Chain A
Amino acid sequence: MDRRENQSSEGETARILVEFLEVAINSIVFLKGVYPSGAFERRRYMNMVVQRARHPQLRDYIHSTVSTLLPFIQKGLVERVAVIFFNTDCIPVERFVFKLIVNQSYGSKLEEADLEFSLRAFLIKLSVSESLTKALPRDCRWEIIAYFRSLPQASMSKDSELWTPTDTRQWQQPPILIPIKSMSSEPLCLQLYLEHPSSSEPKP
């Protein structure tokens, strides 16, 4: 009985987190201005005004990517989720990194309200952190990358097949980190920070 409740609470955390990630990624994409602002619509999430992509493909991409992360998050496999913007040379210009630690053994019941309260702070901070970001070059692309603690079993589920192992181009120098928001509470610890290439990074 308890176990099931725990599991459900855990699942709940993951579900909320995935939902949040979807909204947050939407917001980031909007923030970066990759697409014209007309491609987004104002929506309400957690009692906040957020932007969501209107274009079905874009929306689906974000949605499917994040939601297929759900089983992995539940298993605690996902360490970081990054939204990477890179230029035409595939060299990352800016990375939004969600570092997440989900406490698998969290016993007591999840306080959804508390969690939402904290997550809202992310969205607010995010919406005002444009100044922290770099201006993107033209023709840039972006992608969502998840850093797993270990490679998932191929047979885990159908959805997981959407995720493919990859290697991205890394900066040669350690990046500069600009923390945007952190929350550390049980059972979820989430941090959002920007990564910029260090100034000593050889320019392409």
Chain B
Amino acid sequence: MSLDSSRSANSSGGQKSKRSFNNSTSSNPSNYSNGNNNKKAKPSQKTLGAASWGANSLSPSRSSFRNAPFSDFGSYMMEKNRKLHDQFDAEASTSSHSGSDSGKPIFHGISIFVDGFTIPSSQDLRGYMLKHGGRFENYFSRRRVTHIICSNLPDSKLKNLRSFSGGLPVVKPLWILDSVVANKLLSWVPYQLDQLANNQPRLSAFFAPKSSSVSKDVKPEGSSFKGGTSTEAYFSDLGESSEHSRQISRETDNLVNRNSNASLVTEPTSSCGRPFEVTMEKPNNIDADDERSVRNELQTSPYQPSALATSNFVENHDMTGSPSSTVSGLSNHRHSTIEDPNFVENYFKNSRLHFIGTWRNRYHKRFSSLSNGFNSRSSNIKASAQKTAIVHVDMDCFFVSVVIRDRPELKDKPVAVCHSDNPKGTAEISSANYPARDYGIRAGMFVRDAKARCPHLIIFPYNFVAYEEVADQFYNILHKHCNKVQAVSCDEAFLDFTGSVEDPQILASRIRKEVIETTRCTASAGIAGNMLMARLATRTAKPDGQFFIPPERVDDHLSQLPIKALPGIGHVLEEKLKKQNVWTCGQLSMISKESLQKDFGMKTGEMLWDYSRGVDDRSVGVIQVSKSICAEVNWGVRFKDVKDSQNFLSNLCKEVSLRLQGCGVQGRTFTLKIKKRRKDAEEPIKYMGCGDCENLSHSTTVPVATDDVEVLQRISKQLFGYFHLDVKEIRGIGLQVSRLESEGSLKQGLERNSLKSWLTSAAASTEEACNNSCTALVRSDTDCEGQGNEILGKICASSVGPSIEMDNNISNGEAFLNQVSEPPPLCHLDKEVLESLPPEIFSELNDIYSGKLIDLITKSKGKSENISSSSSNSHVQVEGAMKTGHMVLHSDPFLQHEIPVENRHIAMEDQAVLVSGAESNNVVLPASGIQKIDLMPLSLSQVDATVLQQLPVEVKADILQLLPAHRRQDLSSNALSGPSKETPLELLGTKTAEDHSVSKGCVSENNLWAGTPLQWVVKFKVSNCLILNVLAEMYYELGSTGTLSAILQRAISLPKHQLDANRDSWDEATYNLCDLLKQYIKRKIEFDIEEIYICFCLLRRFAMKSEVFLQVYTNVFPYLQASVGENYGGNLHMSLKN
């Protein structure tokens, strides 16, 4: 508001004069831009004023800087700032000596604010800024200031750094001096205030182990490193200058540097969108280029007025500029890890424990066939009771020796493996070689402690690729020599040589030799009678040796062994035992089993008792199936806000989901574990460690096992919500999934209710299965086939979906679910079935078919014929079950007891379909054909006529053809004679003779006028009698609602021959019609005598034309009159008068 007015006021005075001033003194573009900066500063200053003072409702007259009485402090400050800027500009233009040679002054775009006492003084700094094109602010403004310069910060400001600095970098004055000396703008990052750098605010450059790590006093070394940091600095510059440019471009388009190279512009602009990516990629370019030119590039480019880019820059600037985020790391990859969207991923990528954990899975996949092989053989071996010989093989300091395997010169030097080799860091040594161990360096030690003990300790980062390679080699050798291998870890395994002819010691040494030759790493081996002793023997054997403990030496070996050496005894147990004055296994074996069990629990007690005697009855077996899968991060977890934590959580879920999928399992119970900083806990000694924490957890169980990321995310968010924690207090999060179910069992089970997952899994397996059974016939059109298969799989799966939901016939369902992957002949899917599918499934099918699909389906059907006969059987089952489900859903309840029959019947129908399909493809398989025939109903009684009736005509014809001739006769004769023999009406067509006798005589109870459609309609429709058929048709024509009178009315126009019946159907017709009328009278007489009356009037007319009707009329008329008399005490007037 006041912005415009003040500008207009200014333009008359100050601004004009200033412009002329600039023009007269220098044509230097930098000055020009300085002038612009100045102008820009004004409006931004106003915005500031409006924001912070609130009383900035200045009238134009007031805002005029000359002799206006200052209405308030805000306007006063504004004017003061203005004046100062003007002074500064004036001085700058005179004192500026940069310029013509470089084009851009060093501090172009930099605007400093000096806080407190500095060396050199703030006035000196101001001088530097004047000289080199920077700006100097006397009063702090978040908008104008780009860097805060100070040597020391009071505690209060440190604690509340953000509010003090406004997220701007707080830099030591040395930066200015060094930049001047170097005659270029250095990255301010190394000059960050010490106090801040020490404040341990964020994650370190953990993810760039090779670059020198986080510390204030580490100077840039490598060129790539330099490039990285300077780009970062440029970014902040860029942010600033682009901000300027926006202002400029708003004010005067003329001032926009139109000369800036378009090609130069595009690159940074596009990179603005993803600032972090640029920091990673840029250095490579910079290495090659002249740094200065790069800087120029970056500085000029933002002059392109691009709002989008600018906003991104500002954002970027905020991020990098915030001291807390940048201090922590100097590497190119250094984004504050919490803000790193890939934190979780990176974390696990770099985690040794994760490597070991997931290695198992990898091993399992790789060697599963081998271990299966030995299982079958091992049973034979076991049968012959022989002396057991277990060998425990362990690579010597695996993580180190793999890394240095190609550097023999380091073999005798102390080497350790660790994330970071920062000598002052708190990274933990994960493995140290034997020379290093001689210095007392142990795994788990902080690097700084290790370095203190052994200053020349060489530290390597992990090399996971190499680990994997060596581990695979290692296991290849083991599996070559032994059938029975139990992998303990990637570098450690038990071998069972029981029953082996050769001496296990010789075998062990041969294995060791081979390991050394292949991997160039040493391994040690322990040989003993059981796993425990073998492991203990290895302990003695190390390094690079082997040791055999014969059974008679077990006690000797154990007697002096410290209890800690026993597997299963950790710190806690050790302490407890030591309290009881138990130090060695010998002492431990003195304690009775009972007292051990009393003190340590049944299991632990027994274990201790056994182990202390060298008893271990575990047998070398395969890797146990994991009971839970968990991903946990408790290092580097610092959340700024809830959004951070949610983001983190969803990444963690991704990781867990990946692990679940990797193991091929799904889980039902989800436990979210949270490490929460204790109230009084200090920042942990270990950098970014979790420190002293409370462990909290919540869990939930869902009914359906899942490995879906979205579900996991939803659940974990929910669980997270239960904690009601301040996210800032969280130091670690883990998500554990238990109650695992293997995916295979899920496929069979009914738990899966998600159609989508069904589709995908089924499609995948279909593809696999089909590819396996693929023949040359189909190979020619692989493309189509793949697609087709997938589609088939989908349809197949979706057809299974509803039948599961319907929950009928479960045993049947389970049977076919296993065979889901086999494609059914879809082109012959019954249309009615499709129609009655739930709408969403139907639409899905519809989409899938989309016309031309028929082709694909026909093609792949060739293949389906090739699949073994059992698989074609499965088609039928799937289809049959599907249809059964449909029938159950849509038919009257009384049909349900006939499900098996129906199912059978439909299976038969599909058989027909299959056969015809096969014929069309000329790939008839006799074997499957025979089996198909076998699926035909064994007797006619198994065919449900109602079902038959509902089938499409062609299918019906097919079935009838497939039926043996005599059966067909039965069927038709049954159908014909049915009515006259008073067939039970609900069966309507065929029924076994027994049923006949049972239900004879209950005719009157069958209500022809009940049901939808009315029973008589159903019955008449299947009748062989034309007139009955016609009447049933009339019923449908009238929209299934008409009264009998309406039907008759309609029928009255029929030609005479249709109304009559021949001799064959005479009885049937009269019987049925009489029955129909009688029931109608009975039904209507009380309430609707009119209807009856009309019907009989019409009937009388029929009777004049048709003998059948005449007979019917005469038959029923007495009944009618009796009924009327009964109800109305009279006779209907039935004279022929009208």
Contacts and interface: CB of A to CB of B under 8 A. Distances in A.
Nearest to A191: B1089
Interface string B1127-1138: 011111100000
Contact of B1131 (A99, A174, A189, A194): A174
- What secondary structure prevails in chain A residues at the interface with B? strand
Nearest to A184: B1087
B783 interface: no
A177 B1131 CA distance: 6
A182 B1043 CA distance: 13
A182 to B, nearest CB: 4
Interface in A145-204: 174-182, 184, 189, 191, 193-196, 198
A189 B1087 contact: yes
Contacts of B1130: 174-177, 195, 198
A175 B1090 contact: no
B1088 A177 contact: no
B1088 A191 contact: yes
Given A174-B1125, A176-B1132, A177-B1124, A191 B1087 contact: yes
Tier of interface size on chain B: 10 to 19
A81 interface: no
A178 B1094 CA distance: 10
Contacts of B1092: 179
B276 interface: no
Nearest to A185: B1087
A101 interface: yes
Nearest to B1132: A177
Contacts of B1089: 177, 179, 182, 191, 193
A172 to B, nearest CB: 12
B1072 to A, nearest CB: 26
B1129 A174 contact: yes
B1129 A175 contact: yes
B76 interface: no
Contact of B1090 (A101, A176, A181, A195): A181
A99 B1129 CA distance: 12
A177 B1087 contact: no
Residue among B1129, B1131, B1133 with most chain A CB within 10 A: B1133
Given A174-B1125, A177-B1124, A182 B1091 contact: yes
B904 to A, nearest CB: 45
Nearest to B1125: A174
Contact of B1133 (A101, A178, A182, A189): A178
A189 B1091 CA distance: 13
A174 B1131 CA distance: 7
A198 B925 CA distance: 80
Given A176-B1133, A177-B1133, A182 B1087 contact: yes
Interface in B1084-1138: 1086-1093, 1124-1125, 1128-1133
A1 B414 CA distance: 94
Interface in B838-865: none
B591 to A, nearest CB: 81
A196 B1133 contact: yes
Interface in B1038-1091: 1086-1091
B1090 A177 contact: no
Contacts of A101: 1086-1087
Nearest to A99: B1128
B1013 to A, nearest CB: 21
A124 B51 CA distance: 85
A204 B1092 CA distance: 32
A195 B1132 CA distance: 9
Q: Which of B1088, B1092, B1124, B1125 is most buried by chain A, counting CB atoms within 10 A of its CB?
A: B1088
Nearest to B1127: A99
Contacts of B1093: 178-179
Contacts of B1091: 182
A196 B1132 CA distance: 10
Given A101-B1087, A179-B1093, A193-B1089, A198 B1131 contact: yes
Contacts of A184: 1087-1088
Contacts of B1090: 179-182, 191, 193
Nearest to B1134: A176
A195 to B, nearest CB: 6
Nearest to B1092: A179
Q: Which of B1090, B1091, B1124 has the most CB of A within 10 A?
A: B1090
A145 to B, nearest CB: 14
B1131 A176 contact: yes
A99 B1130 CA distance: 13
Interface in B177-200: none
Interface string B877-891: 000000000000000
B537 to A, nearest CB: 89
A176 B1124 CA distance: 10
Contacts of A195: 1130
By CB atoms of chain A within 10 A, which of B1086, B1129, B1130, B1133 has the most? B1130
Contacts of A175: 1129-1131
Q: Which of B1088, B1089, B1092 has the most CB of A within 10 A?
A: B1089
A176 B1125 CA distance: 10
Contacts of A99: 1128
A7 to B, nearest CB: 24
A182 B1129 CA distance: 17
A99 B1089 CA distance: 10
Nearest to A170: B1129
Nearest to B1093: A179
Nearest to A178: B1133
Contacts of A196: 1133
A196 B1125 CA distance: 14
A184 B1132 CA distance: 19
Given A182-B1087, A184-B1088, A193 B1128 contact: yes
A110 B1124 CA distance: 30
A68 to B, nearest CB: 25
A196 B40 CA distance: 111
A17 B1130 CA distance: 25
A176 to B, nearest CB: 4
Contacts of B1132: 176-179
A196 B1137 CA distance: 15
A91 B1092 CA distance: 29
A194 B1132 CA distance: 10
B1127 to A, nearest CB: 9
A96 to B, nearest CB: 13
A163 B888 CA distance: 60
User: Which has the most chain A C-beta neighbours within 10 Å: B1128, B1129, B1132?
Assistant: B1128
A25 to B, nearest CB: 19
Nearest to A174: B1130
- Tell which of A101, A176, A194, A196 has the most Cβ of chain B within 10 Å: A176
Contacts of B1125: 174
A180 B1093 CA distance: 9
B149 to A, nearest CB: 82
Nearest to A183: B1088
Contacts of B1129: 174-175
Nearest to A176: B1133
Nearest to A190: B1087
A203 to B, nearest CB: 18
Contact of A182 (B1088, B1124, B1131): B1088
A177 B1092 CA distance: 12
Interface in A97-140: 99, 101
B823 to A, nearest CB: 52
A180 B1091 CA distance: 10
Given A179-B1132, A189-B1087, A191-B1089, 13 more contacts: A174-B1129, A176-B1130, A176-B1131, A176-B1133, A177-B1128, A177-B1131, A177-B1132, A179-B1090, A182-B1090, A182-B1091, A184-B1088, A191-B1088, A193-B1089
5 contacts: A101-B1086, A174-B1125, A175-B1129, A176-B1130, A179-B1093
- Closest A-B pairs by Cβ, 7 of them: A182-B1090, A184-B1087, A175-B1130, A179-B1090, A179-B1093, A176-B1133, A177-B1130
